Amino acid sequence: METDRLIRTLAADGAPRGMSMSRVWSLTALAAAAIAAAVFFMSIGPRGDIADAAHTIRFLFKFVVTLALFATAFAALRGLAIPGVNPARAMAPLVLAPALLLIAVGLELLAIPPSQIESRWIGSNALICMTFIPMIGIGPLAAFLFALRNGAPTRPSLAGAVSGLVAGGLSATFYAAHCTDDSPLFVATFYPLAVAILVVAGAVAGRFVARW
C-alpha cells in the first residue's frame, strides 16, 4: 500500500501544471487587443484622413499617451495580482501618462491664441469619445478581470480599478485612430473621463471577481 501511495504521489508531482502567470498575462493582453480591435473595426473604424493625420505631431502624440497608460497600468496590474505587494510601489509608473498630458497641454496653451482654446478643448467628438472608449474597452476589462482570478490580489477593488485603466488605455488607443480632435486639451479632458467609466466598473466588479 505504501508503494502504491508513493507511485501516485510521484505521478501527481510530474503531472502538467497550470500556465504560469506570465503566460496568462501575455495571452490575456493578446485576447484583449483582439476583442478591442474587433469592436473598433465593426463599429467606427479609423478616421477617413488617417494617412494625412499620421504626419502630424498632435495625432501621433495621442498614441504616445494612450500606449503609455496601457503599458504602465498593465505593469501595475501584474504587480497588484501578487499577494502582499506594496500598492504604492506597484502603481508608481502610472504617473507617466498624466505627466505627458500635462506637458502637452502646457505646450498647446503656449502655441495657440487664446481665441482657439475653447474650440480645441471642447472639440466636436466629446459624446462619441465618452461612448466608444467604454464600449471598446468593456470586453478587454472582462478579460483582465478574469486573468486576476489566476492571481491573488490582496486588494481586489484596487486591482479591478487598475484593470479598468489597462482596458481604458487599450480602448483609447484604438479610439484615437478614429478621433479627429487631436488637441491635447481635448485628450486631457474627455479621454480620462471616458476611461474613468471603465475604472469605476472595474473597481466594482473586482470586489466580486478578483477576491480569493
Q: Give per-residue pLDDT as tens, 138-164.
A: 999 999 999 988 777 788 899 999 999
Which residues lie below 8 Å from residue 109, measured CB to CB, with a gap of 6+?
117, 185
Position 5 in a domain: no
Torsion of CA 55, 60, 61, 67, to 10 degrees: -170
Instruction: Give the number of domains in the chain.
Output: 1
In angstroms, rounded to a whole number, what is the distance separating the alpha carbons of residues 124 and 189?
13
- pTM of the full structure: 0.88
Angle between helix axes 156-176 and 21-43 (nearest 10 degrees) is: 40
Position 2 in a domain: no
In the DSSP assignment, the letter for residue 19 is P
Position 11 in a domain: no
Residue numbers of the domain that contains 132: 22-209
In angstroms, rounded to a whole number, what is the distance separating the alpha carbons of residues 28 and 74?
11
Position 12 in a domain: no
20, three cell numbers: 504560469
Position 16 in a domain: no
Position 125 in a domain: yes
Position 66 in a domain: yes
The answer to whether the beta carbons of residues 24 and 150 sit under 8 Å apart is yes
CB atoms within 10 A of CB 74: 23
Helices (H), 44-125: 50-53, 57-80, 87-91, 96-111, 117-122
Opening angle at CA 135, ends 101 and 54, nearest 5? 45
Position 14 in a domain: no
- On the question of pLDDT at 11 being above 50, the answer is no
Residue pLDDT, tens place only, 81-137: 888 788 889 899 999 999 999 999 999 999 999 999 999 999 999 999 999 999 999
